[in-house]
Chains A and B, each alone.
Chain A
Amino acid sequence: MSTPLQVYEPFRAGLPKLGFYGKSLWSRRTFIREYSKSELREQHFDSVFGQLWLVLNPLLLSAVYFILIVIIGGATDSTRYAHLTASLFLFYLVSNSLSGGVKSVTAGQRLILNTAFPRIMLPISAVVVAVFKFLPTFFVFFVIKAVIGTPFTWQMLWAIPILFIAIFLSLAVAITISCVNVYFRDIASFLPYLTRTALYLSPILYEASALKPKLRALETFNPLFPILDAWSRAMVHGEAPHMATLFQGFAWAFGIFVFGTYFFLSREREFAVRL
């Protein structure tokens, strides 16, 4: 008798064989791309006006804060507006990953019930969609930066590893929250409050250096804080970020990724009976 291609046996609450799982996920990469593209098309982001909205939405939001901070608050520094815009654009990458990721598993119910595939593909697709939405804003920021006149330096290349860390963190949180949402479907309703709180607790409306000493704890307990601080230093001021800040951001992303992925992989085999 030949060797079975697949053996299915009872599982304990542990991880699947990671090598096989990884291979299976890699073999589905075309599907991840097409699935993400179809999500974008469903939201009309494949059209000119759809892409325009992707840029307009954070721009309008930054305009609101510009009125609040620069006009009403009386701040005169033009880099403040560049900081606000750059930080909001990156914050939207994380926020869109969360809002797309939270329902990615529950919305993929038909796929989960009828096809065997690595379920982690669903939150990954949500993050891919968020990255596609982020890309146009990246280029718009360069136009704003040129108009405002903040410096273009080689240190801005630090934005690349910082962006990777931000995507890594987005993926880690999307994986975690998508799994939690299977067990508590109202998590998605709490999400706007959570993201709005994160917006105010992160260095977006203010620069990290302007934080009062007694509020320094925010730096330690907010995973977004070091990433947005490093992003602003590189993209707005054209300076190299502090290595400790970069490491802290990466450590947060890695920690949440390990926890979230373990939680997801150990639970994903029961999704079909929970949905």
Chain B
Amino acid sequence: MSLLYDSKPHITNELAVSVRGVGLTYTTSIDKKPTLKSRVKSLGRGTKQTRVVRALDDINLEVQYGHVLGVIGANGAGKSTLMRCVAGILPPSQGRIEVYGTVSTLLALGVGFNPAMSGRDNVFLGGLAAGMSRAEIAANFDEIAEFSELGDAIDAPMRTYSSGMYARLAFSVAAVVRPDILIIDEALSTGDAKFKEKSLNRVKELRSDDRALILVSHAMQTLRETCNDIAWLHKGKLVQRGNPDVVIDAYQEFLHLGKSAAIDEDV
């Protein structure tokens, strides 16, 4: 499925994503790396090998085309988990998610990249991982290279890149994808201040009447400027949903931080 070119235009306010009564409970191992050896050693001792995690609890949300939804919450609130559910990465254990368009995720930068290969090769690899076709990547290659500002370094192996260069190329590949619904999870905090501004402008450009954006971030000022709606999650539950200024103020009040410069910044 092509992510770059939407075949069917969407009307503003038409439903893009519907999340109804979604909960997610999963079993995970207590050991970071479970082994057969530890399992055998624990036999007969009655030690627990797994634990049950309730990551999301009865979440109800709707996102319309032409809207930008911001998602906020403390670490461990379930923001990334919810985004993974909407993207189809994690199936919910309760409720139903309906998605009315193509989805692209920008949950982490450089997914699919191989440091042994050149930046040029990784543009193709990262693009294919994001669901683009080879022809689409080739057609947009110049735009990606220009946006990344890497110059001749695009042909050098990525293991020689600085972390800033790596992030710039990764964001550039992701930014060229034009899906119906775009989910961005704290991916804006990349590169230097100039590139951050450029990235933010690209996200603002991606706002259009026939696209829905879901933005997960701790950068409150960015969310205030960009979003139509904010959803605040806490310990897997939806606490409040509505006007950005109202919800962000309530969230900051909850954190006992008030409206401080520190929380408005990208962190």
Binding site for B on A (CB under 8 A): 1-2, 4-11, 27-28, 30-31, 34-35, 38-39, 41-42, 110-117, 183-187, 190, 269-270, 272-274
Q: How far is the CA of A38 from the CA of B28 in the complex (A)?
A: 31
Determine chain A's interface SS by DSSP, over half rule: helix
Q: Which of B106-114, B147-155, B192-200, B242-250 contacts A (4 or more CB under 8 A)?
A: B106-114
Looking at chain B, what size class is its interface with the partner chain?
Answer: 35 or more
User: What 0/1 pattern do residues 98 to 132 of B give for CB contact below 8 A with A?
Assistant: 11111101011001101011000100110011110
Check if B92 sits within 8 Å of A9, measured CB to CB.
Answer: yes
Q: Which of B34-42, B233-241, B259-267 contacts A (4 or more CB under 8 A)?
A: B34-42
Complex interface residues of chain B between 142 and 197 (CB less than 8 A to chain A): none
Check if B93 sits within 8 Å of A10, measured CB to CB.
Answer: yes
Q: How far is the CA of A177 from the CA of B65 in the complex (A)?
A: 43
Residue of B94, B98, B107 with most chain A CB atoms under a 10 A cut-off: B98
Q: A34-B125, A35-B112, A184-B34 are in contact. List 4 more A-B contacts (CB 8 A).
A: A2-B100, A10-B93, A116-B105, A184-B35
Question: Would A38 and B111 be within 8 Å (CB), given that A5-B99, A116-B87, A273-B90 are in contact?
Answer: no
Q: B133: which A residues are within 8 A, CB to CB?
A: 30
Taking CB as reference atom, which chain B residue is nearest A2?
Answer: B100
Q: B91: which A residues are within 8 A, CB to CB?
A: 8-11, 269
Check if B90 sits within 8 Å of A272, measured CB to CB.
Answer: yes
Pick from B29, B96, B111: contact of A8, CB under 8 Å: B96
Check if B111 sits within 8 Å of A115, measured CB to CB.
Answer: yes
Check if A2 sits within 8 Å of B14, measured CB to CB.
Answer: yes
CB distance from B208 to the nearest CB of A (A): 18
CB distance from B72 to the nearest CB of A (A): 20
CB distance from B58 to the nearest CB of A (A): 13
Residue of A110, A114, A274 with most chain B CB atoms under a 10 A cut-off: A114
**Interface pairs A-B: 5 shortest CB-CB:** A4-B98, A184-B36, A31-B128, A116-B88, A186-B35
Check if B117 sits within 8 Å of A38, measured CB to CB.
Answer: yes
Q: How far is the CA of A36 from the CA of B35 in the complex (A)?
A: 27
Q: B43: which A residues are within 8 A, CB to CB?
A: none
User: What 0/1 pattern do residues 76 to 94 of B give for CB contact below 8 A with A?
Assistant: 0000000011111111111
